[in-house]
Amino acid sequence: MEQTWRWFGPRDAATLAHARQAGATGIVTALHDIPYGEVWPIEAIRQRKAEIEADPSLGLRWSVVESVPVHDHIKYGKGDDLKQLYANFSQTLRNLGACGIRTVCYNFMLVLDWTRTDLAVGLPGGGRALKLNVHELAAFDCHILQRPGSERDYTPDVLQRASRWMDETPDAAKDRLLANIMAGLPGAFKRYGIEELREVVAAQATMTHERLRANLVQFLENVLPAAEEAGVSMCIHPDDPPRDLMGLSRIVRNAKDIDFILDAVPSPNSGLTLCSGSLGANPENDVPAIARCFAPRIFFAHLRNVTKDPDGSFMEADHLGGDVDMVSLIDVLVEEEQRRRKEGLPRSLLPFRPDHGHELIDDGARQTHPGYTVIGRLRGLAELRGVMTTLARQRGYEM
């Protein structure tokens, strides 16, 4: 499997040299400076590719795009510019294909991306981890955002703890909670203030699962022909967390949702980004089983782990710790890659990256995006590589 590393561009404190020292050979990046909905020019794609390949001794290549953002109007299914937005996304796919970049990860989450309430949970020895505390989410939703009807989405116990948190927490920590929730837009420079977030959440209160699904289907119908023409594989990322959030519908939560999406617009270029951490945050999801079910349609993998609490809270764990059976999951992915090689399928090499990492040792001295530390991801990649190497040798697979 191809070991990759997410890089946010030249301003990223986690550098390309760090990626190579960690053992990665593929880079996962995007053109974050280009506004959502605009075409990625070939010249800009070539420039980013040249930056990645500038030092031949590193041996790096641009392996996966994460992400070409889907404009909000596409997700909302409305706006006079829909036709142009579909055309722009399609042209970006053609431009990427023309530059030899064949895998595009995308998501269809409304308003927010991945969501955590605490970005610095203490670990033994002084490390830090990301966590979603449900009572803090409820405090934000019910007391700070003041979303109408929000109380119906939480248990009485959670609501009680949320009220206590509001009473006992300093104002500075309450202000920080908004920033923590906004941190899930790691590649974007847009951040919502509380009033703006209140407005956009309210505007999407009537967006049902059925309507959002229909908008996704319409999007795929319009852009997949260009993906096929360009030889680009599009792989949708699961919702994180995989459940409705602050009144916002989410539609990539489990095997049933994934099956619907892949069947709705049949195409060999439509597939899945298998994210073990996102899917693993739902106690009903058997992540290795989901991987086995959709193995031929997995074009990219995010590997991280979570530990879950009974109230729905979860924390990002060690890559080989937590509730997801990572060894069994990797076994499925290694086996699928070998199948592709034996059948002589094009681009049989399956890219994966260590998704998120704890803040370890001197990671705190670098201003990296939350979760995208250097040493924490280096450790995760090393652990995952060890499992893959062991499984491959046990089964006589080619590495």
256 with 313, same domain: the answer is yes
pTM above 0.85, yes or no: yes
Structural domain containing residue 333: 69-113+208-394
196 with 316, same domain: the answer is no
For the beta carbon of residue 367, count every other beta carbon within 10 angstroms: 9
Q: How far from each other are the two terminal CA atoms of the chain, in whole angstroms?
A: 7
101 with 150, same domain: the answer is no
Active site residue 237: yes
Q: What distance in Å separates the CA atoms of residue 273 and residue 197, rounded to the nearest whole number? A: 28
Catalytic pick among 18, 135, 356, 358: 356
What is the pLDDT at residue 182? 84
Q: What distance in Å separates the CA atoms of residue 150 and residue 20, rounded to the nearest whole number? A: 46
Q: Estimate the crossing angle of helix 255-264 against helix 287-294, to 10 degrees.
A: 20
Residue 209 in contact with residue 154, Cβ under 8 Å?
no
- Domain membership of residue 63 (yes or no) is no
Helix, coil or strand: residue 112:
coil
260 with 360, same domain: the answer is yes
Query: What single letter denotes the amino acid at residue 267?
Result: S
Structurally, the chain folds into a number of domains equal to: 2
What is the pLDDT at residue 187? 55
Mark which of 201, 224, 250 sits at the end of a domain: 201
What is the pLDDT at residue 72? 92
103 with 250, same domain: the answer is yes
360 with 225, same domain: the answer is yes
135 with 82, same domain: the answer is no
- Domain membership of residue 193 (yes or no) is yes
Catalytic pick among 113, 239, 331, 355: 355
Catalytic pick among 105, 142, 235, 275: 275
User: What does the DSSP 8-state code read for residue 31?
Assistant: -
Mark which of 176, 201, 226 sits at the end of a domain: 201
Catalytic pick among 302, 318, 331, 363: 302
- Domain membership of residue 7 (yes or no) is no
Q: What is the CATH number of the domain that holds 97?
A: 3.20.20.150
- Domain membership of residue 3 (yes or no) is no
Which helix (H) or strand (E) is 61 found in, with range? strand 61-66
319 with 222, same domain: the answer is yes
385 with 252, same domain: the answer is yes
Q: What distance in Å separates the CA atoms of residue 36 and residue 77, rounded to the nearest whole number? A: 15
Active site residue 235: no
Q: Determine phi and psi for 360, rounding to 5 degrees.
A: -125, 155
Token pair for residue 392? 């491959």
- CA angle in degrees (0–180, nearest 5) for 74-76-77: 60
Q: What distance in Å separates the CA atoms of residue 90 and residue 94, rounded to the nearest whole number? A: 6
Cα dist from 9 to 47, 49, 87, 192, 303, whole Å: 11, 11, 26, 23, 21
Active site residue 356: yes
- Domain membership of residue 309 (yes or no) is yes
Q: What distance in Å separates the CA atoms of residue 362 and residue 376, rounded to the nearest whole number? A: 10
What is the pLDDT at residue 120? 96
- Domain membership of residue 163 (yes or no) is yes
Mark which of 158, 178, 201 sits at the end of a domain: 201
- Dump pLDDT digits (tens) for 202-256: 999 889 999 999 999 999 999 999 999 999 999 999 999 999 999 999 999 999 9
Catalytic pick among 135, 237, 319, 358: 237
97 with 245, same domain: the answer is yes
- Domain membership of residue 41 (yes or no) is no
225 with 372, same domain: the answer is yes
- Domain membership of residue 377 (yes or no) is yes
332 Cβ neighbours under 8 A, 6+ residues apart: 288, 291, 292, 295
What is the pLDDT at residue 192? 80
305 with 380, same domain: the answer is yes
Low-confidence ranges of the chain (pLDDT < 50): none
Q: What distance in Å separates the CA atoms of residue 239 and residue 190, rounded to the nearest whole number? A: 20
What is the pLDDT at residue 193? 85
- Beta strand 298-303 with 305-308 is unpaired
